Amino acid sequence: MCAIVGVFGAKKASTVAYYSLFAMQHRGQEATGISTSNGEHIAVYKKRGMVSDVFSQATLDSLDGTCAVGHNRYSTAGSESAGDAQPVFAKYKLGEISIVHNGNLVNKNEVRSRLIDRGAIFQTDMDTENIIHLIAKSQNGALVDRIKDMIYKIEGAYCLAIQSRSKMFVIRDRFGIRPLSLGRLKDGGWIVASETCAFDLVGAEFIRDVRPGEMLIFEEGKEPHSEQIFEPDYHPCAFEYIYFARPDSIIDGKNVYQKRLQMGRQLAKETPADVDLVLPVPDSGVAAARGFADGLGVPFEMGIVRNHYVGRTFIEPTQEIRDLKVKMKLSPIKHLIRGKRVAIIDDSLVRGTTSKQIVRMLKEAGAKEVHMRIAAPEIKYPCRYGIDTPTKQELISTSYTPEEIAEKIGADSLGFLSIEGLKESLGTDRNYSLVSFDGDYFAGGSAESPGCAGGC
Ligand code: AMP
Q: Let me know if residue 300 belongs to a domain.
A: yes
Pocket residue to mutate for ligand 1, from 1, 30, 354, 400, most atoms within 8 A of Cβ: 354
Shared-domain flag, residues 218 and 262? no
What is the rounded average pLDDT for all residues in the chain? 93
Contacts of 19 (CB under 8 A, 6+ apart): 198, 201, 202
> For residue 386, what pLDDT is reported?
87
Shared-domain flag, residues 188 and 298? no
The tally of CA atoms less than 13 A away on the side-chain side of residue 40 is: 1
CA 229 to ligand 1 centroid distance, Å: 35
Minimum mean pLDDT range among 384-393, 399-408, 447-456 = 447-456
Q: How many domains does the chain have?
A: 2
Domain that holds residue 99: 3-228
Q: 302: which strand partners?
A: none
CA 349 to ligand 1 centroid distance, Å: 6
Shared-domain flag, residues 271 and 223? no
Shared-domain flag, residues 306 and 370? yes
Q: Let me know if residue 15 belongs to a domain.
A: yes
* Beta carbon of 286 within 6 Å of any ligand 1 atom: no
> For residue 262, what pLDDT is reported?
98
Cis peptide upstream of residue 127 (ω within 30 degrees of 0): no
Q: Is residue 83 very low, low, confident or very high in pLDDT (cuts 50, 70, 90)? A: low
Backbone angles phi, psi at 243, to 5 degrees: -135, -45
Q: Domain holding 344: CATH number? A: 3.40.50.2020
* Beta carbon of 29 within 6 Å of any ligand 1 atom: no
- Tell the residue nearest (CA) to atom 9 of ligand 1: 348
Catalytic residues: 2
CA 56 to ligand 1 centroid distance, Å: 32
Residue 82 has pLDDT above 60, yes or no: no
Nearest atom within ligand 1 for CA of residue 356: 2
> For residue 321, what pLDDT is reported?
62
Shared-domain flag, residues 375 and 431? yes
* Beta carbon of 389 within 6 Å of any ligand 1 atom: yes
Q: Let me know if residue 362 belongs to a domain.
A: yes
**Once rounded to an integer, what is the mean pLDDT over residues 416-426?**
98
Nearest atom within ligand 1 for CA of residue 243: 12
Residue 160 has pLDDT above 80, yes or no: yes
- Tell the residue nearest (CA) to atom 19 of ligand 1: 388
* Beta carbon of 456 within 6 Å of any ligand 1 atom: no
The pTM of this model reads 0.94
> For residue 78, what pLDDT is reported?
46
Backbone angles phi, psi at 273, to 5 degrees: -140, 140
Higher pLDDT, 41 or 389: 41
* Beta carbon of 346 within 6 Å of any ligand 1 atom: yes
> For residue 270, what pLDDT is reported?
98
Q: Let me know if residue 45 belongs to a domain.
A: yes
Separation of alpha carbons 422 and 435, rounded Å: 13
Residue 318 has pLDDT above 70, yes or no: no
Shared-domain flag, residues 219 and 336? no
CA 74 to ligand 1 centroid distance, Å: 14
**Once rounded to an integer, what is the mean pLDDT over residues 144-156?**
97
Q: Please tell me what DSSP assigns to residue 83.
A: G
Nearest atom within ligand 1 for CA of residue 383: 19
Q: Which of 170, 193, 228 is the last residue of a domain?
A: 228
> For residue 450, what pLDDT is reported?
81
Quick one: CA torsion of 286, 288, 289, 292, rounded to 10 degrees?
A: 160
Shared-domain flag, residues 134 and 264? no
Q: How far is CA 148 from CA 141, 153, 379, in A?
A: 11, 9, 35
* Beta carbon of 376 within 6 Å of any ligand 1 atom: no
Q: Let me know if residue 156 belongs to a domain.
A: yes
Residue 176 has pLDDT above 60, yes or no: yes
Shared-domain flag, residues 57 and 124? yes
Residue 150 CB neighbours (<10 A): 24
Shared-domain flag, residues 201 and 347? no
Q: Domain holding 92: CATH number? A: 3.60.20.10
Residue 208 has pLDDT above 70, yes or no: yes
CA 316 to ligand 1 centroid distance, Å: 20
Q: Let me know if residue 127 belongs to a domain.
A: yes
Contacts of 182 (CB under 8 A, 6+ apart): 170, 190, 191, 192, 206, 207, 208, 209, 210, 216, 224
Nearest atom within ligand 1 for CA of residue 396: 4
* Beta carbon of 436 within 6 Å of any ligand 1 atom: no
Q: Let me know if residue 233 belongs to a domain.
A: no
Q: Let me know if residue 446 belongs to a domain.
A: no
- CB-based contact 379:360 (threshold 8 Å): no
Q: Which of 228, 263, 284 is the last residue of a domain?
A: 228
Shared-domain flag, residues 305 and 431? yes
* Beta carbon of 354 within 6 Å of any ligand 1 atom: yes
Separation of alpha carbons 217 and 221, rounded Å: 12
Shared-domain flag, residues 95 and 170? yes
Residue 164 has pLDDT above 80, yes or no: yes
Backbone angles phi, psi at 452, to 5 degrees: -90, 50
Shared-domain flag, residues 434 and 311? yes
Residue 269 has pLDDT above 60, yes or no: yes
